[in-house]
Homo-oligomer: A and B are copies of this chain.
Amino acid sequence: TFSQVALAPCSFSGCHLQEVVYKLNALLVCCCFVFCRRPPKLRQISWLLFVFFSSDIEISRAQSPKAVDVLAKEIGLLTDEIEIYGQTKAKVRLSLLERLKDQPDGKYVLVAGITPTPLGEGKSTVTIGLVQALTAHLKINSFACLRQPSQGPTFGVKGGAAGGGYAQVIPMEEFNLHLTGDIHAITAANNLLAAAIDARILHENTQSDKALYNRLVPVVKGVRGFSSIQLARLRRLGINKTDPETLTEEEISRFVRLDIDPSTITWQRVVDTNDRFLRKITIGQANTEKGFVRQAQFDIAVASEIMAILALTTSLEDMKERLGKIVVANDKKGEPVTAEDLGVTGALAVLMKDAIKPTLMQTLEGTPVFVHAGPFANIAHGNSSILADKIALKLVGEKGFVVTEAGFGADIGMEKFFNIKCRASGLVPSVVVLVATVRALKMHGGGPSVSAGAPLKKEYTEENLQLVADGCCNLQKQIQITQLFGVPVVVALNVFNNSTDQISRYFFLISFDAVPCNHWSDGGRGAVKLAQAVEKAANQKSSFKYLYSLETIAQKVYGAEDIELSPAAQSQIDRYTRQGFGKLPICMAKTHLSLSHQPEKKGVPTGFILPISDVRASIGAGFIYPLVGTDRAYCPGQPVPCPPPYGEDPFPKPNLTLP
């Protein structure tokens, strides 16, 4: 559906030639579109003059992106299929899936990684470099599908997630801040549900059945009427009545009282800021709340189950249904209480009506990118949205490539990509790209600890071939994990800003067929070899299959000898089975810093028993998540092994500022 031209005008900001070419191009797009409805070719944008810039933000600000409506036309979108947000972002409507439903899918590539250092090993830059290489240099249609980053880490030590160097999504600020408002919509929906829970408990505790009924089913212009949500609740309660005036007192009581047990509430408020002081709080202390105080917490917004739902949903109708199914607590009889019971499904869905549409952006070289959803990989599945992947697979055409990324190492992100995301979407992956760095290999080979914000120790800044060689065990294990799922693997050695000279000497030691990538310094050109390897691997036979049980994941993926369920975990499993949720897929909540549950164990730990301390459920998203580990050293003070709000605080200096 779209093709490429490598020849491109100088797109250095302020260049007059570029301006002329842009205008001509826009005219061409118009004519082409009006007369033959065939979109013009995709245009690469070059960056030859950027060598003067040193930081990611300088590079991003120096490039002039194509107008997003031009990009949209280049890749074959119709005018009424996009909703433009400013000059560089557009939401894509889901109606596209209907129009292109008979178009065969392109090749589906997952970028995963070895067990990372806390600094990350550049899966995002590999993803972006790879599509730049495919599209602009090999002339193969391709699309990158990325997660929307949380603003918490963006203003912390980590910084943004737009990629880096000459493999970036631009403009960086637009990517990292607000985007098209999806995370804000999730926050609004999540917190509306949270407020409804506490308000409901308070009202039930302080009001009569009759007063509750009058508030829930008010007389409007002399008439009472049930909403469709309320009619559904009545049916669930076995009350087959539609006229509010005919309910008996007993039926009214059952209808109005959810009888939520406050000690079982699992739905937390969220904020998209690293705010450590909200990790554990007491709420309801104003006099107006009449003493109904309880302990609660704020999670980071992207850890909301609504984010996981957004990532896994396949249509507006499906999303609304999943939102309704969210279990927020149990009632006093031990039965689940849902968002639907609280009557807020319609409100949650209307808040999310635009968030369901993926956002179109572009790389530094003008390659199309979808940014959509960003659930955390430690309590959810860590993958961008199914909808973005599906749309992109249609747009690139049968011979094209869609490259997406899984959070954390392959043992977590990739495992969840296969077992949860592919299971929900039905899509079959063609190739896995496993990203390794010399830095992470050295760490697995016994190098000293690496931490964010602190300078790297000399083992990492100086050559040390032995550490690299010893660390290859982790890479080998991750390759084996990939092979368990029956998908061809390509190993990408991400070179960052190290000189190639130095790297080639390391590379000699690595016995796998790994491709060094220089996209960080050279853009798409630096990832051409990787792109060629991926193209070749995509022609191999894939015999993709899911893995099923908790035990299989623990033993075959992590390398544990066995699992050990705590009494709490066992009782939760029994409860979920009794409630009918026993067959949901499993989403492990485990540290990403080791194959085991202990983050300090590098390389390939063996002989350990994997402890499951508790089990939680995201019923709307559709998975059960066992909490792995006993000490939670990597996430102190939290019931869920994700520091909510995530990570360090916005100190000392926010990474992104207005100049």
Does residue A657 face the partner (Cβ distance < 8 Å to B)? yes
| Residue in B287, B349, B649, B657 whose CB lies within 8 Å of A658 | B349
A119 CB to nearest B CB, Å: 14
B191, A654: Cβ atoms closer than 8 Å: no
Residues of B within 8 A of A328 (CB): none
A288 contacts chain B at the CB level, 8 A cutoff? yes
- Contact mask A272-287 → B, CB, 8 Å, 1/0? 1111111111111111
B residues in contact with A279, CB < 8 Å:
285-286, 288-289
Q: Closest approach, in angstroms, between the C-beta of A158 and any C-beta of chain B? A: 14
**Mask: chain A, 281-311; 1 = CB below 8 Å from B; 0 = not:** 1111111110010010100000000000000
Roughly how many angstroms separate A194 CA and B283 CA in the complex, as a whole number?
18
State in angstroms the CA–CA spacing of A219 and B454 once bound together.
9
- Interface-facing stretch out of A128-136, A197-205, A543-551, A566-574: A197-205
Q: Which residues of chain B are within 8 angstroms of A187 by Cβ–Cβ distance?
A: 184, 187
Complex contacts, A198 vs chain B, CB 8 Å: 275-277
Q: Are A276 and B289 in contact (CB under 8 A)?
A: yes
Stretch at the interface among A83-91, A360-368, A369-377, A432-440: A83-91
What is the bound-complex CA distance between A39 and B642, given in angstroms? Answer: 55
Interface residue stretch chosen among A173-181, A381-389, A502-510, A529-537: A173-181
Are A286 and B295 neighbours in the complex by a CB distance under 8 Å?
A: no
Interface contact B455-A219, CB-CB below 8 Å: yes
Q: Which of A108-116, A350-358, A463-471, A585-593 contacts B (4 or more CB under 8 A)?
A: A350-358
Which of B219, B351, B653 sits near A343, CB closer than 8 Å? B653
A147 contacts partner chain B, Cβ-Cβ < 8 Å: no
* A651 touches B (CB below 8 Å): yes
Question: A277 to chain B: which residues have CB within 8 Å?
Answer: 195, 198-199, 202, 283-284, 289, 292
CB closest chain-B residue, reference A230: B653
Instruction: Specify which chain B residues have a CB less than 8 angstroms from the CB of A284 in the assembled complex.
Output: 277, 280-281
**For the side of the interface on A, what is the size category?**
35 or more
CB closest residue in chain B, given A350:
B658
Contact assessment for A652 and B218 in the assembled complex, using a CB-CB cutoff below 8 Å: yes
- CB A381 to nearest CB in B, in angstroms, measures 25
Q: Is the CB of A650 within 8 A of B288?
A: no
Query: Residue of B at shortest CB range from A349?
Result: B658
Closest to A655 in B: B347
Q: Which residues of A (11-25) have their CB < 8 Å from a CB of B?
A: none
CA–CA, A285 and B195, complex, Å: 21
Complex CA–CA separation, A85 to B359 (angstroms): 12
Residue from B347, B643, B652 in contact with A656 in the complex, judged by beta carbons closer than 8 Å: B347
Q: Is the Cβ of A347 less than 8 Å from the Cβ of B657?
A: yes
For residue A638, CB closer than 8 A to chain B, the reply is yes
Chain B residues with Cβ under 8 A from A638's Cβ? 286
A231 at interface by CB-CB < 8 Å: no
A94 to chain B, nearest CB (A): 14
A651 touching B286, Cβ below 8 Å: no
Q: With a CB–CB cut-off of 8 A, which chain B residues contact A426?
A: none
Does residue A155 face the partner (Cβ distance < 8 Å to B)? yes
Which B residues are CB-close (under 8 A) to A448?
none
B351 to A177, Cβ gap below 8 A? yes
0/1 string, A629-659, CB within 8 A of B gives 1: 0000000111000010100011111101111
> In the assembly, what is the distance between CA of A284 and CA of B277, in Å?
4
A651 x B215 contact (CB < 8 A): yes
Q: Does A344 contact B (CB under 8 A)?
A: yes
Asked if residues B192 and A287 are in contact (CB atoms below 8 Å), the reply is no
- Kindly list chain B residues whose C-beta atoms are within 8 Å of the C-beta of A271: 191, 269, 271
Residues A349 and B657 in contact in the complex (CB < 8 Å), given A85-B86, A288-B637, A637-B288: yes
Assess whether B636 is in contact with A287, with CB atoms less than 8 Å apart. yes
CA distance A656 to B295 in the complex (A): 30
Known interface pairs A281-B282, A346-B659; A275-B216 also in contact (CB < 8 Å): no
Task: Compute how far the CA of A448 lies from the CA of B347 in the bound complex, rounded to whole angstroms.
Answer: 34
Which A residues are closer than 8 A to B by beta carbons? 83-87, 91, 151, 155, 173, 177-178, 181, 184-185, 187-188, 191-192, 194-196, 198-200, 202-203, 215-219, 227, 269, 271-289, 292, 295, 297, 316, 320, 343-347, 349-351, 353-354, 453, 455, 636-638, 643, 645, 649-654, 656-659
For the complex with contacts A198-B275, A199-B276, A285-B295, 6 further pairs of A-B residues with Cβ separation under 8 Å are A155-B192, A178-B185, A195-B275, A216-B652, A276-B288, A316-B658
Q: Could you pull out 11 A-B pairs where Cβ atoms are within 8 angstroms?
A: A84-B84, A86-B354, A192-B650, A194-B273, A195-B275, A198-B277, A202-B277, A203-B651, A215-B651, A276-B286, A286-B638
